[in-house]
Structure 1
């Protein structure tokens, strides 16, 4: 497996060693050439932490970059191309974080590690 992009749940479950992270996902992350985490994931975690919908140990909203780096993952910045692709999807899926992850996975030719079936509606390769 060449390059992976983790969705927010995959990152959270990896960091917490949560048993719901599938063995397929776990093995793929362990053996990937490179694992990426989107800036959109940092935004989503910070937003959900701020509004009280998410609490993480350690606090990813405050030490995101350090924690991502500690696992050997790289952060993927959002570009104008990513934003245009995310905005241009034809269906009405409203979650901006999902739309961005789909756009980034598509444009960067990465496999998105996700449990969320909504990504079947986007033109991206997924695994779980």
Structure 2
């Protein structure tokens, strides 16, 4: 399974947060899983870290290596797909994440209830 992690799941994973449980833990730790992040998630993680909004000190480059993450480029038409999504989620970054998951055939790992309303595979 190709998992595209949203920022919240990534932060929980780094911190060993107890909210990361059940299906998320099973999917992330599965031998069949490959873990991916979108450029917007990578940027948001670094931005949150720089502004001290998340309790993590680990640089993203080290995190990528430790968890064997792959930063996936956006498909060229991802912006078009994102702009055609209904505005269920008001955050355009989250709509880009949904579009990226749809375009790349990813399952999106998210705790965001609004993202879960889109027609994208989620855990």
Q: Same fold (TM over 0.5)?
A: yes
TM-score (norm 2): 0.86
Q: Is the 8 Å Cα contact of residues 8 and 41 (structure 1) preserved in structure 2?
A: yes
Deviation at 1:27, TM superposition (A): 1.1
Deviation at 1:17, TM superposition (A): 0.5
* Aligned match of 1:4: 3
TM-score (norm 1): 0.83
| 1:115 aligns with one of 78, 100, 111 | 111
1:44-63 map, 5 Å: 44-50=44-50, 52=51, 54-59=53-58, 63=59
Q: Deviations over 1:48-105 (max 9, x none)?
A: 445x47133224xxx2133122211111122332222112213263312211110111
1:103 aligns with 2:102: no
1:1-128 map, 5 Å: 2-31=1-30, 32-50=32-50, 52=51, 54-59=53-58, 63-91=59-87, 93-127=89-123
Q: Residues of 2 paired with 1:82 and 1:69: CA distance?
A: 26
Bigger shift: residues 90-99 or 29-38: 90-99
* Aligned alpha-carbon RMSD (Å): 1.9
Structure 2: gaps spanning 5 or more residues = none
Q: Which has the higher helix share?
A: 1
